[in-house]
Chains A and B, each alone.
Chain A
Amino acid sequence: MEKKIRVLVAKPGLDGHDRGAKVVARALRDAGFEVIYTGLRQTPEQIAEAALQEDVNVVALSILSGAHPHLFPKVVDLVREKGMKDVLIIGGGVIPETDIPALKKAGVSEVFTPGTPTSAVVDFIKANVKA
């Protein structure tokens, strides 16, 4: 059987809006991925541990609260600390363009802002995932 790409879709922090995360989750499912959705209000520790238990290839973070400069790098660090060196970490949400370089420097591979077609996320994962 061919390898399945497994993606953890997670919402770190306290905002309660997951429409975007759900739209992305569905698009990834329709692209043939296995999507593990963990629901709202996750701590970086919970996200990293879920990524470990599920042995995902990708962690996709969605955030609308503005806490991304703090939470995204935290998730990256915890995931790497747990020994998952190859896991692709991407983010999306209401994120100002000016914040993106710092996030990328912190290890977030790509950041998708409002207006991105879901196919762009799928294509990015297919092109960059180490499965």
Chain B
Amino acid sequence: MDIAKELLEGSRLALSRAITAIENEYPEANDIMKELYPHTGHAYVLGITGPPGAGKSTLTDKIARAYRKAGKTVGIIAVDPTSPFTGGAILGDRIRMNELTLDEGVFIRSMGTRGSLGGLSHKTADAVKAMDAFGKDIIIVETVGVGQSEVDIVKAADTTMVILIPGMGDDIQAIKAGILEIGDLFVINKSDLDGADKLVREINMMLDLDAGSMMQARTATEEAIANQFHHLNVTKHEEAAPGYWRPPVHKVVAMQNEGIEELIGLAKKHHAFIEENGELHRRRTRRARDEMLDILNARINAHIKGHIVDNGRLDGYVKSFQNHETDPYTVVADLLKEMLK
């Protein structure tokens, strides 16, 4: 079956097979991506992240339904951790999304992390592209927001929602997790529980500290520039400074569908804001750049593996190091000359 062609014609099975090819790094995945690439760039990508049990899947379900009601088609990529011990995984995010299964405008795919060495962020990005080319308007990527690879996945989103719940420790936990930096919107789920307002206050306070320091940094830079170029009469231009998006903190009760419409409204507002001030373009540029370097790195690694690991040359070198006949620096220099001809 010609997967790319059938995917572009709207075959759900082809989309599913394409994602499998991406996940398993089948050789044909490259050809599929080549054909799909010109058809990408239309979808808006929403990242949802937060600790286990925060309600990410339930919220994803509700957000997807709200977008469906507005006539948008939705793709969902739900990432769950793979066991580092057995390589197996239980991917249970669909449990919260069962009613979406039979909606033809929704496509849900569960992915295991399969160890971050496998380049999960790159694979997720390709799966997003496959759904984009398939014609989905909104693509939601849902993942546990801990660990570098998960943060990388979220960086692939245009708008990132960080979802938190009351009762998970004090405000220090939120700083520690490094989660404050990646959120464009903060969602306090289960906000009918005790401590929700306190959490809202704490997050707001920390975001204001953040905003304060960013403003300060910006003003200092502008002054430095102004001082340096004062002979050119460069002054501070309020309108020239890129606007600062102060992430809103929004309370929801996902189970009861409370606060979801407003949340979608905030996501739209963020979208419009970053489109207006050029941040969306910057994010997508950065993404394209990272992606290209990722692919190049992966290819070069594969080349190295084929060139010296799989054929046993590496073992030979190691032996000669151990016998002090040569050293790794000499060998690497020679190999580079040989490979980069």
Contacts and interface: CB of A to CB of B under 8 A. Distances in A.
A81 to B, nearest CB: 11
B30 to A, nearest CB: 14
Contact of B83 (A29, A38, A55, A83): A29
B13 A34 contact: no
Interface string A40-55: 0010011001101111
A102 interface: no
A130 B109 CA distance: 21
A37 B91 contact: yes
B328 interface: no
A36 interface: yes
The SS class assigned to the A binding surface is mixed
A29 B24 contact: no
B106 to A, nearest CB: 9
Nearest to A37: B92
The SS class assigned to the B binding surface is mixed
B90 A25 contact: yes
Interface in B71-111: 82-83, 86-92, 94-95, 98, 101-102, 107-110
A16 interface: no
A39 B96 CA distance: 8
A45 B90 CA distance: 22
Nearest to B119: A1
Contact of B112 (A4, A49, A84): A4
Given A46-B98, A46-B102, A53 B12 contact: yes
A53 B98 contact: no
Interface centre among A31, A38, A42 (most CB of B within 10 A): A38
A37 B90 CA distance: 7
A38 B94 contact: yes
A35 B16 contact: no
Contact of B118 (A1, A42, A82, A83): A1
A33 B112 CA distance: 10
B20 interface: yes
Interface in A46-105: 46, 49-50, 52-55, 82-84
B19 interface: yes
Interface string B298-322: 0000000000000000000000000
Contacts of B20: 55
A31 B88 contact: yes
B181 interface: no
A83 B87 CA distance: 29
Interface of B: 12-13, 16-17, 19-20, 23-25, 82-83, 86-92, 94-95, 98, 101-102, 107-110, 112, 114, 118
